[in-house]
Amino acid sequence: MARVNEWAGSDSHNVRRLASEGIRPRLPWAKVHAPFVADPSPILPVLGRLYDDASLFVRKSVANNLNDIGRTHPEVALATASRWADSGSSHAAWVVEQGVRGLIKRGNKEALELVGFSPSTAVTATRPEFPHTVAIGEKATLSTTLTNTGDAPAHVLAEYRVHFLKKNGTRKPSVFRLGKYTLDPGETRVVTKTHPFRVTSTRTYYPGTQALSLVINGREGEQVEFELTQL
């Protein structure tokens, strides 16, 4: 770690990025580094030097590193992100939101509040409109209406979960983003999103009954079922 700390102070943004990227617990396409998965504390001083780096290239790596930590140590990731958010750094807000994005997808209340999306906000969403039948390879459009029923502006993170049918007959949800909005008191906004059901190297579809649900500031609504068919 002494060498890594030297890299963190380099004049080269490529070397500074290496200081963060080289100690990620779960670097994609690399072997999981079990000691840092078990105890990420040696990583934190290095990230603390780099989260406010002048280079976005470096800051992206720091955010990804914090997101790795959050998978197994959410309390550590949240405490670290909170310190950064309170630092007054002009870069902190972006790094924090990216760094806790995995926790946000899991509906973690503290993570949502940390980035300004209160689960208790007075925003309602209509039952999502979605086709009853979609063929594999096609696209389908989701639509809902958001309304701020409160008496103060509301910051809204709108997401949706597609509960995909697995080979064994169970369903597994994946989270997708609709958008971020600020709604004035009484304001209504129609939100739409086109979702592709194309086959990729990382996504295999199984025909049958799937489901879709809205998630507003971490609060999941009712599931709407639809049939996924072969072309």
- The CATH number for 210's domain is 2.60.40.10
Task: Using alpha carbons, select from 65, 21, 27, 29 the residue that is nearest to residue 202.
Answer: 29
The pLDDT score that the predictor gives to residue 56 is 98
Q: Which domain holds residue 210?
A: 123-229
Helix (H) or strand (E) holding 44: helix 44-50
Task: Using alpha carbons, select from 8, 30, 35, 31 the residue that is nearest to residue 19.
Answer: 8
- pLDDT tier, 91 (very low <50, low <70, confident <90, very high otherwise): very high
- 2 & 83 share domain: yes
- pLDDT tier, 138 (very low <50, low <70, confident <90, very high otherwise): very high
Mean pLDDT of 53-78: 98
**pTM of the full structure:** 0.87
- 98 & 146 share domain: no
Mean pLDDT of 165-190: 97
Mean pLDDT of 160-172: 97
Amino acid, single-letter form, for residue 201: S
Mean pLDDT of 51-63: 98
Which residue, of 62, 88, 115, is where some domain finishes? 115
- 21 & 82 share domain: yes
Helix (H) or strand (E) holding 68: helix 56-72
The pLDDT score that the predictor gives to residue 220 is 95
- 2 & 105 share domain: yes
- 141 & 225 share domain: yes
| Residue-averaged pLDDT of the chain | 96
Q: What is the CATH number of the domain that holds 110?
A: 1.25.40.290
pLDDT (tens digit per residue) in 14-33: 999 999 999 999 988 788 99
- 99 & 14 share domain: yes
Which residue, of 83, 115, 147, is where some domain finishes? 115
Helix (H) or strand (E) holding 208: strand 208-216
Mean pLDDT of 80-109: 96
- pLDDT tier, 198 (very low <50, low <70, confident <90, very high otherwise): very high
- 2 & 103 share domain: yes
Which residue, of 52, 83, 115, is where some domain finishes? 115
- 108 & 160 share domain: no
Q: How many domains does the chain have?
A: 2
Give the separation between CA 21 and CA 47, rounded to whole angstroms. 10
- pLDDT tier, 121 (very low <50, low <70, confident <90, very high otherwise): confident
